Amino acid sequence: MKTRIILLFFFFYFAFSFAKTTPTFPFSTIINRPNGLSASSAKAADNHKLYDTKYFTQILDHFTFTPQSYHTFQQRYLINDRYWGGAKNMAPIFVYMGNEGDIEWFTQNTGFMFDIAPHFNALLVFIEHRFYGKSVPFGGEKEAKSSSKTLGYLSSTQVLADYATLIIDLKKNLTATDSPVVVFGGSYGGMLAAWFRLKYPHVTIGALASSAPILYFENITSPYAFSDVITQDFRSESENCYKVIKGSWQLIQDIAEESGGLERLRKSFNICKNYISVGSLEGWLSTAYTYTAMTDYPTATNFLNPMPPYPVKQMCKAIDDPNHGSDPLAKLYSAVNIYYNYTGEVNNCFDLASSSDPHGLSGWSWQACTEMIMPLGGSNKDSIFPASEWDYNERAQYCKEAFKIEPRPNWITTEFGGHNIERVLKRFGSNIIFFNGLRDPWSAGGVLKNISKSLVAIIAKEGAHHVDLRFSTKEDPKWLKDVRRKEVEIIQKWISQYYHSLTDLI
C-alpha cells in the first residue's frame, strides 16, 4: 500500500484535516493541577496572555565559516515569566524544544509545563524550530522551501545549535547564567530534548523526552513494530473490531474492481466527487486508525482533530454496534467519523484531495528525506493493515523526485548514537526521563528500560503519544497523575542536586 508513505509524518497534515477553526487555548484546564502542586497556577487564568512573543537574530549555519553561513534569520520564541523566581534566586528555566511545526500550536499540547511552573518558580521558554512557523530563513516560505540549496540548512544538528545559542544568550540578557535549564520535548521534539542533553550538558541539567522514538533508526527497531502496536490497540478492544478492519482492505479492493465499484465506495464513505483512487481511500482510512491510536487519550482532545476520550474504544464500539447493520462499509464509515467528523461539522463530503496544512508541518518531508529515515512502514500478516514490507528504495525514489537528493539513513546513529544505547549511555549519560505510553505506536522506538539511576524510563501501558505533557484535567486517571508526579519528583531532584553542586564547589 503505497499510501502508507503518510507515515513519514509524526503529525499528518496535508489531507483529511477538517478542523474549521484553529483550536483555542484551553484556558479553563490550566487551573487543574497535578496533585500536590501549589495553587498559584490559577493565576494564568486571570491573565489571558500565556506568553510574550520575541524574536532572536539567529545564525544560519553554525558549522561553517563561509560568508553565506553568517547570514541570519529571525527565530521566534515564546516566554512566560509570571512564575519565575528570578535570576537572583537562580530560579530554573524550562525550555520546550520546538517540533516540526508552528510553536504556538505545540504550546497547546504542553500544558504540563504551565501546570508545574508555579511549583518550581520556573521561567517558561518555547523555542520555534527553524524552517517552521515564523522562524523561516531566506525571507519567506517560498524562498526557503524552494530548493535543496536553502533547505539544506534544515537539520537536527543546526536546530540543537540554535537552541543552545538562544538559551545562552537569553540567560546572559537576564543575568541568569547560574539558573539551571531543564529541557522538555514531545515526539520529534522529545528526540531533540534527549539529544540536547547528550550534546549540550553544559547548557541543560536534564531533559524530559516524552514519546521520543530515538531508537527508530536503521535496524535497531523492527519495521513492523509500529503497526503491531496499532493492531494491538484495536485488537485489545475487540476481536471483531480488528477482524472487520483487517478484512476491509480486501473487500475494498474487490469492490473497486466491480463496475461502478469506485462510485459505490465513494458514496459509502461520503467522499467528495474529486476523489481519485482506491489508494487514497486506503490512505485516508489508515490515517484515521493510526492517528486515533496515537492520540488515544483518556480525556477529550483537540490536538489533531477533535476527539472523544478513548477514541479507539469509540471506533470499535461503532464497528461492533449491531445498529449499524451488517454492512462493513457502513461500520467503517461510522468508525472513521470519530476521527474525521466527531463534532459533526463536516457538512457535505470528505475532501480527500484537500491539502491544507494548518500547523505548518510541511518541512518534515525534507527532514524525512535527509536524516529522519525511520523504517516503520512494514506490516506483518497479522497486522490490522495489509501485509507490506518497509522498502528503503521506495523512500529514496520519492526523495529523488521531490528534492533531487539521496537520504543518509545512517547519519542519526552516527551523530547521536542509538545502537547498544544502554551500554553506551550507562557510562556517560545522565538526567533524562524517557516517557512512553505503550498504546502509542511510536513507543516501539522509544527507550523502555531504565538505563541507570538518572536515565529513567517511565512507562504507562494505558498511555498514548506524549500524554504526560498535556494539560492536567479533573478527569485524569490515576496512572496519569502518577506519571506526572514521578516526573516532577525527578526534575526536582535534578534541580536540588544542581544547587548542591554549586555550593560544594565554593
Ligand X SMILES: *[C@@H]1O[C@H](CO)[C@@H](O)[C@H](O)[C@H]1NC(C)=O
Cα dist. 112→109, 223, 384 in Å? 8, 31, 33
Binding of residue 168 to ligand X (CB under 6 A): no
Report, in Å, the least distance between residue 75 CB and ligand X: 9
Report, in Å, the least distance between residue 27 CB and ligand X: 26
Q: Is 121 left (phi over 0), alpha (psi -120 to 50) or beta?
A: left
Report, in Å, the least distance between residue 418 CB and ligand X: 10
Q: Which entry of 119, 129, 359, 465 is annotated as an active-site residue?
A: 465
The C-alpha atoms of residue 230 and residue 225 are separated, in whole angstroms, by 9
Judged by CB under 6 A, the residue of 85, 486, 492, 493 near ligand X is 486
Residues 245-274 that bind ligand X (CB under 6 A): 270
Q: Is 431 left (phi over 0), alpha (psi -120 to 50) or beta?
A: left
HEC-encoded secondary structure of 69-118: HHCEEEEEEEEECCCCCCCCCCCCEEEEECCCCCHHHHHCCCHHHHHHHH
Please identify which residue in the block is written with the cell numbers 513492523.
224
Q: Which of 288/361 has CB closer to ligand X? A: 288
Q: Positive or negative, the Cα torsion across 360, 415, 466, 389?
A: positive
- Residues with Cβ within 8 Å of residue 209, at least 6 apart in sequence: 185, 190, 191, 193, 194, 197, 432, 433, 434, 435, 447
Residue 32's Cβ-side half-sphere holds a number of Cα atoms within 13 Å equal to 13
Binding of residue 459 to ligand X (CB under 6 A): yes
- Residues with Cβ within 8 Å of residue 173, at least 6 apart in sequence: none
Q: Which of 88/449 has CB closer to ligand X? A: 449
Contact segment (CB under 6 A) with ligand X among 307-315, 322-330, 455-463, 498-506 equals: 455-463
Judged by CB under 6 A, the residue of 19, 59, 255, 349 near ligand X is 349
Contact segment (CB under 6 A) with ligand X among 99-107, 166-174, 192-200, 466-474 equals: 166-174
- Residues with Cβ within 8 Å of residue 147, at least 6 apart in sequence: none
Please identify which residue in the block is written with the cell numbers 470499535.
316
Q: Which of 66/173 has CB closer to ligand X? A: 173
Q: Is 32 left (phi over 0), alpha (psi -120 to 50) or beta?
A: beta
- In the structure grid, which three cell numbers stand for residue 222, read together? 523492527
Q: Which of 151/176 has CB closer to ligand X? A: 176
Report, in Å, the least distance between residue 148 CB and ligand X: 28
Binding of residue 15 to ligand X (CB under 6 A): no
DSSP code per residue over 208-255: EEES--TT-STTSS-TTHHHHHHHHHHHHH-HHHHHHHHHHHHHHHHH
Binding of residue 166 to ligand X (CB under 6 A): yes
Judged by CB under 6 A, the residue of 1, 31, 220, 255 near ligand X is 220
Binding of residue 330 to ligand X (CB under 6 A): no
Residue nearest to ligand X (CB): 344
Report, in Å, the least distance between residue 225 CB and ligand X: 12
Judged by CB under 6 A, the residue of 53, 74, 413, 450 near ligand X is 450
Binding of residue 456 to ligand X (CB under 6 A): yes
Cα dist. 120→26, 40, 47, 115 in Å? 22, 11, 19, 10
- How many other C-beta atoms are found inside a 10 Å radius of the C-beta of residue 353? 13
Q: Which of 169/406 has CB closer to ligand X? A: 169
Q: Which entry of 17, 41, 156, 187 is annotated as an active-site residue?
A: 187
Tell me the number of residues near ligand X by CB under 6 A: 21
Helices 188-199, 156-173: inter-axial angle, 10-degree rounding: 70
Report, in Å, the least distance between residue 181 CB and ligand X: 13
Binding of residue 219 to ligand X (CB under 6 A): yes
Q: Positive or negative, the Cα torsion across 398, 399, 401, 403?
A: positive
Q: Which entry of 296, 440, 468, 476 is annotated as an active-site residue?
A: 440
Report, in Å, the least distance between residue 411 CB and ligand X: 15
Report, in Å, the least distance between residue 346 CB and ligand X: 4
Contact segment (CB under 6 A) with ligand X among 167-175, 180-188, 193-201, 364-372 equals: 167-175
Residues 410-449 that bind ligand X (CB under 6 A): 449
Binding mask 68-97 for ligand X (x = CB under 6 A): ------------------------------
- In the structure grid, which three cell numbers stand for residue 95, read together? 525550555
Burial grade of 387 (CB within 10 A; 0-12, 13-18, 19 or more)? middle
Binding of residue 59 to ligand X (CB under 6 A): no
Contact segment (CB under 6 A) with ligand X among 44-52, 169-177, 252-260, 398-406 equals: 169-177
Catalytic annotation present for 388: no
Q: Positive or negative, the Cα torsion across 255, 257, 263, 265?
A: positive
Q: Which of 57/277 has CB closer to ligand X? A: 57
Catalytic annotation present for 440: yes
- How many other C-beta atoms are found inside a 10 Å radius of the C-beta of residue 67? 7
Judged by CB under 6 A, the residue of 8, 113, 144, 170 near ligand X is 170
Judged by CB under 6 A, the residue of 13, 16, 51, 56 near ligand X is 56
The catalytic residue positions are: 187, 440, 465
Contact positions vs ligand X (CB under 6 A): 54, 56, 166, 169-170, 173, 219-220, 270, 341, 344, 346, 349-350, 449-450, 456-459, 486
